[in-house]
Structures are given as C-alpha cells and as structure tokens.
C-alpha cells in the first residue's frame, strides 16, 4: 500500500491539484487491489493553523475513508500525522494534544511520524516539556530515519556498521517501549540518498550510496530478523529532491538527459540492475512480512544483473573486513 502525503500548506491554499493526486492514488489502488491512506505533514506551519486546517479537511478525508481500498488498522481507518515534536517544526504540545483529541473523536487509528529520539528526548526532539506524553498517545509510532545513518568520509563497511548500530540503539528498544504503552511500531527504511538539487548550497551528490540494494536490504534484514517488527514504512515512493525514491530510476548514466545531474542505478561501481529494482527489493520484504517470515541475510541479485558482493554478516560486521566493503567510498559527503 501507499501513504499519500497531504501537506497542511496545500489545505490552506485549497489546492485542487493535491485533491486530484489523492483521487488518482485512490483510483490506482482500486484498479490494482492495493490500499492507501492519508498522511498529513505539518512542515512549515505554525500550530495555531494546523488544527483548523485538519478540521476543515475532515469531510474530504471522511469521504476517502469510505472507499473499499482505504487502509484500516485494528478495525479503524488509519490516518498519519508527520512532523509534530520535531525541533525544526512549529507545532506546540497543546496543539499536538488537540490534534490527537480531534482524530480520536472520529474513531480513527492515528499514526505518528515522530522524531528519531522520541523515546529518550533530545537531539531532533523539540526542547519543550510534554512531548513524551504526546508521542506515547499515537496508536502507531513511526520514527524518521532518513539521513540518520551513512558513512561520512569513511568506508562502505562503516555505513553497514551505522545501520547495525541503529537497530540495537533505536529499533529494538523503541519497539519494546511502544509495546509497553500499547502502541504498534513502524520503523522507516530508505534505499539511499542523493540531495544534489536541494536548496542547501552544499554538494550532496549520492551522499548515501545504495550499493545496488545492500543499503536498503541491511535495514530490512535488521528490522525484520533482528528486531522482529511486523510493519515497515518505506521512504519514499517518489522523493526526488532527497534521492530516496523507490520508483523507477534510470539504469545507467546514458539514460539520463544530457547535462542533467540525476541519480541512476549504476552510479555505484559494479552495479547493473533494472529501473524497478528498488520496488523489487521492497517487494521481497513485503512478502516476508505478510507471511510472518524472516528474510534471507543475503540479497539475491536479479537474473542477468550485477550486484556488489555480499557484505559481512551482521554479527561480525565490526571485525576487520577486506575487499569491496572495506574500500573508501567513491563519493563522500555529510548528510
């Protein structure tokens, strides 16, 4: 299924385009047998307008929820709110509680797109008191991870180490805390990143290499096999500016428009995979989750393709390793 992002800013502008996109998503799910749900994003908005915008948008959301392909969780239609509690967002604690009160009065399941450090506070969490209670009110807790692990002026092996450290320092204890408060837990995984076209004035070309799928697969393996989660959020289907898209991207540089610096699959040495490889990799994990099974530790490359060699096993990744995984990254840069 898919979460359709709906920015509060678009509601305030009464964006008909955003409504058409939602209609297209709904029609596509009906045609393909998939499910979808709405994810509100509070980025860029002050708290005093967020609640009013959600109340204004409720008739549209309620109508979508009547559709056969709208996602339900634990018997209720699902809606997500992303961004409350982030240090870089402008929603306060009282507004966050009011938003949760509003949706709970509508008998929906509320998913929270939370800061990474929701459980302990600090770092990316807003430095005001009361957020620990807000986060624990969500029916599903889904901490953001994009950019939280990768190698900076290091090696491919260090990238894997940072992913493996994340599962022990965050996912496993996060899952335990979510269960303690009666919430479900949905970690976020991403295929890699390249933010060359973001307006930050910094060179970020291929700053988190995909390694032919290994960057994503290691996250999936850790979340499913080592942590034992039963749901995962893939970020993002069509995120172009941060280079995290799962949808089809060019197989090679020759397929990229002339003079356009855009990400392509064989940007990492030794990689040759089809345009839809990222959907295939995600699909392997989805099949395992639906069946209640683990995934293999080794990512099986597609027939006729070229993928990097298998990295060291998770339990020995901290040991000295030679070959492909201990070589410096061909392209460096901080996230």
Q: Which residue has the tokens 């709904």?
A: 26
Ranges 154-168, 212-226, 297-311: which has the least confidence = 154-168
Residue 79 has pLDDT above 80, yes or no: yes
For the record, the structure tokens of 167 come out as 């599962």
% of the chain residues with pLDDT over 90: 74
Ranges 32-36, 108-112, 190-194: which has the least confidence = 190-194
pLDDT in tens, 258-283: 888 888 999 888 899 999 999 999 99
pLDDT of residue 334: 40
> Predicted confidence band at 54 (pLDDT cuts at 50, 70, 90)?
very high
pLDDT in tens, 142-161: 999 998 987 655 678 888 88
Of residues 30 and 207, which shows the higher confidence score? 30
Q: For residues 284 and 135, what is the distance between their CA atoms, to the nearest angstrom?
A: 31
Q: What is the mean pLDDT of the chain?
A: 91
> Predicted confidence band at 316 (pLDDT cuts at 50, 70, 90)?
low
């Amino acid at each position: 299924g898919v979460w359709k992002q709906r920015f509060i800013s678009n509601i305030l502008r009464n964006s008909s385009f955003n409504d058409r996109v939602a209609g297209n998503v709904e029609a596509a799910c009906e045609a393909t047998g998939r499910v979808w749900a709405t994810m509100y994003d509070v980025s860029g908005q002050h708290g005093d307008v967020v609640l009013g915008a959600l109340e204004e948008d409720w008739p549209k959301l309620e109508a979508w929820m009547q559709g056969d392909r709208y996602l339900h969780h634990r018997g209720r239609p699902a809606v997500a709110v992303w961004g409350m509690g982030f240090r870089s967002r402008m929603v306060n604690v009282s507004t966050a509680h009011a938003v949760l009160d509003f949706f709970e009065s509508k008998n929906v399941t509320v998913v929270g797109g939370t800061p990474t450090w929701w459980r302990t506070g600090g770092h990316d969490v807003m430095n005001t008191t009361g957020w620990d209670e807000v986060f624990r009110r969500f029916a599903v807790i889904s901490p953001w991870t994009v950019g939280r692990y990768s190698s900076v002026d290091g090696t491919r092996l260090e990238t894997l180490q940072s992913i493996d450290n994340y599962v022990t320092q965050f996912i496993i204890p996060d899952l335990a805390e979510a269960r303690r408060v009666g919430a479900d837990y949905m970690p976020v995984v991403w295929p890699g990143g390249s933010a060359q076209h973001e307006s930050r004035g910094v060179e970020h070309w291929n700053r988190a290499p995909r390694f032919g799928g290994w960057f994503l697969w290691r996250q999936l393996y850790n979340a499913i096999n080592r942590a034992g989660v039963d749901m995962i959020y893939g970020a993002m289907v069509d995120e172009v500016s941060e280079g995290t898209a799962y949808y089809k991207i060019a197989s090679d540089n020759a397929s990229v428009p002339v003079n356009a610096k855009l990400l392509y699959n064989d940007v990492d040495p030794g990689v040759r995979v089809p345009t839809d490889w990222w959907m295939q990799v995600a699909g392997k994990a989805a099949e395992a989750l639906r069946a209640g099974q683990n995934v293999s530790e080794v990512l099986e490359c597609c027939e006729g393709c070229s993928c990097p060699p298998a990295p060291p096993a998770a339990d020995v990744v901290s040991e000295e390793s030679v070959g492909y995984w201990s070589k410096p990254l061909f392209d460096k840069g901080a996230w």
